[in-house]
Structures are given as structure tokens and as C-alpha cells.
Amino acid sequence: MGLLALTDIQHEIQQLARSYAARELAPLAGERDAQSRFDRRMVQQMAALGFFGMLTPEKYDGLGLDAQSYLLALEEIAVADASAAVLLSVHNSLPIQMILDFGTDAQRDHYLPPMARGEWLGAFALSEPEAGSDAAALRTQAVRDGDDWILNGTKAWVSHGNEAGVLLCMARTDTPGDRQGTNGISTFILTPDLPGFQLAKQERKMGLRASPTLQINLDDCRVPGDRLLGVEGKGLTYALGSLDHGRLGIAAQAIGIARAALEASARYVGERQQFGQKISEFQAIQFKIADMATRITAARTLVHAAAAAMERGERITRFSSMAKLFASETAMWVTTQAVQIFGGYGYVTDYPVERFMRDAKVTEIYEGTSEIQRIVISRETLAAALAADGSLPD
């Protein structure tokens, strides 16, 4: 029995994702990692299960699930393959969510059904080579040309940017002579067929190797006027707001990676013998297993409490950052312990724990580094304490 009180539907989704992931994803995850291979067959399978429309309402061909069902499914996918999990997390939490929240009816009708069906994968292009944590410093410039916009600049680190059919791209719409700060950035819905849209460098990564990460050059890229999302100048607000959602997805991904490491460790300690006994008999090993399990359960509880608050319509910026920070640091710590438990065998590719450790690291970096999460949590905590006359609301 788990700690979370799941509804029947949540339990069903969790079991569906678990059995699919164990049967189809886990067996070849190591091979996909070794070959840095993005697997389109896997995309088709997950599309058939509705995983690309988990949060999309049924009227746009989605499953219309609640956030907790979605996060449970993401965790199960990440246990088997962290690269598949980031694809689902970015697609469902960022571009789909932004079009749902800020798109016109025409934009929703046009983009959401094929995205929910998994025919068009969604990507998120905020970061640039010189603007990562400081996203407001991005330089890609959009200039009006009649009804169109012309975009010039370089977007960096775009997850599955070469596989995406729809990319939400943040670009400046203020002018060099009249910078508007955070109000000078807008969001555009790009598609790869636009003239001047160019895939550039594909990164070679420490982990998450089955998830391609691309630089994209926009070279006089002509974007029709109806591709502007929402209000001009509000793009950074939309992007940062959607990260409240996205960070819960990354937290679920981190928990899945940590759980994979714990499950592999639990199997190994019951098999490996040293000094004439199973290493599970050593208290030093037992304490590691206890701490790994405790941290994973604490992280999951935080993520699902934050998701429940989001479902109630509450502002969750503080809790979403806490969940992402705690879950990602848990994943890094747990996977490092797993490598230690495996000893030398943890350091080589015969066992998957070295992959788990490499995959875990990026959860402390993308969608805001741990340092940025601490800045957000501290700012939000101080503001909440001030607003409540010093006593913090739970």
C-alpha cells in the first residue's frame, strides 16, 4: 500500500503506465542511451495510450486527466526511461498548457488535437546561449513586417527540438532603443516549416541521451501574425508561469529515476555476497536503503500535495519549486548511493545505475537550477511570512 490516497482512475492510470513502461520501455532504455537514439516507435506507442494528451481536455482529443494522474504516469515512465519522461513532461506541461491557458479559440482548435494525439510533439524554446537562469536577458528579436513578424536569434537546449511539430518560442518584441524588461518579451507558436527556421547543433550529453537537445537558429524567420500567443509583451510571464506546472513534471521524473535506482539496489543487495553473507545483512547497507526510501516518499508526497493545491486553483509557485528542488536533489543523492551499493559494478555499464546517476543530474539543472529554485522559495517564503504577519501558512 502506498501513502497517497489514490482515486480509482489515478490507480488505473498508474498501473497502465507501469505495465507499459516495464514491458516496452525498460528493456531497451540502456540501448537507446548507449546509441543516443530517439525512438519514434515509442512515441507512437505512447500516443496510442493517450500519453501526449494527458492534461488536454477531451474536446481537443485529450484524456483530460487531473494533475496527479499525470504525475503518477510520468513517474512510472521515468522509472523505465528518463528520456521518455522528459518528452512527455515538456510536451504536456509547457506548450500544451500555454496554448490552453493563453491561446485563442482558433489556436486551440488548430494545435491542440494533433498535439494531444501525439502527431505534433510540442517543444519549449526559452533558453539561449547567453540567457539561461536569467531568461529575461534573452536576445532573439522579433520585428513586425506588415501582418507578419521576422524573428532573428539563437535558441539553446531545446529538448526534442528536431522532432517537434510545434515550438513555443520566447522572443523580444520591444526595440533596442526602448527596452521593456520582462514586458518586452512575447511568445510565438513556431512550426519547423517556417522559412528561416534552422536546426543547428545537437548537444552530446552526460545523460538523458535518448532525448535529443538542439540549438535552433532563427534567420529572418517569417512568422505569420496569428502565431503570436496571447498578449504582446506577456510572453515571459506566460513562460515562467507555465514552469510552475513544468517543475512538477520534472519532480515526478526525478522521483521515477530515484525509484529505479532504489529498486535496482533492493534486488542487488539480496544477491550480492561478501564476507560470506548477502550485503543486505550489513547495517550500513540497510541504512542506505532506509534513507533512499524515506527521501523518495517525502519527495512524492510533496509533489502530490503541490499538484492537489494546483487542482484546487491555488498559486503553487513556492511549492512547485520546493517539489522540484527536493525531488531532483533526492534523485541525485539516491542514484549516487545506488552506485555505491553496487560498488565497482555500479561504475560500469553492465548495470543501469550509472545511467540513473547520469540521468538524475540534469533534473538539478533544467527548468531552473537548484540555485534558482532556492531563490524562488526564499522570495516566496519571505513574501508569505510578511503577508501573514510573520507566521507562515502551511
Residues at the interface with ligand FAD (CB under 6 A)? 90, 124-127, 132-133, 157-159, 205, 208, 213, 362, 365-369, 371-372, 375
Q: CB of residue 65 vs ligand FAD: minimum separation in angstroms?
A: 23
Q: CB of residue 374 vs ligand FAD: minimum separation in angstroms?
A: 8
Nearest residue (CB) to ligand FAD, 22 versus 206: 206
Three cell numbers, residue 178: 526602448
Percent of the chain as helix, strand, coil, to the nearest 5? 55, 15, 25
Q: CB of residue 145 vs ligand FAD: minimum separation in angstroms?
A: 25
Q: CB of residue 375 vs ligand FAD: minimum separation in angstroms?
A: 6
- Catalytic residue ranges: 367
Closest-CB residue for ligand FAD?
132
- Cα→Cα distances 54→63, 124, 146, 280, 296, Å: 5, 18, 38, 40, 24
Q: CB of residue 121 vs ligand FAD: minimum separation in angstroms?
A: 11
Nearest residue (CB) to ligand FAD, 151 versus 372: 372
Nearest residue (CB) to ligand FAD, 131 versus 341: 131
Nearest residue (CB) to ligand FAD, 24 versus 380: 380
Three cell numbers, residue 192: 519547423
Radius of gyration of the chain (CA): 21
Amino acid at residue number 383: A
Q: CB of residue 312 vs ligand FAD: minimum separation in angstroms?
A: 28
CB 140 within 8 A of CB 185: no
Where on the phi/psi map is residue 233: left (φ > 0), alpha (ψ -120 to 50), or beta? left
Dmax of the chain from CA atoms?
A: 79
Rounded distance between C-alpha atoms, residue 376 and residue 180, angstroms: 22
Rounded distance between C-alpha atoms, residue 391 and residue 93, angstroms: 32
Backbone angles phi, psi at 174, to 5 degrees: -85, 175
What's the chain's length in residues?
394
Nearest residue (CB) to ligand FAD, 207 versus 230: 207
Q: Give the CB-side neighbour count of residue 277, counting CA atoms within 13 A.
A: 6
Residue 228 belongs to what H/E stretch?
A: strand 228-229
CB 187 within 8 A of CB 228: yes
Nearest residue (CB) to ligand FAD, 63 versus 123: 123
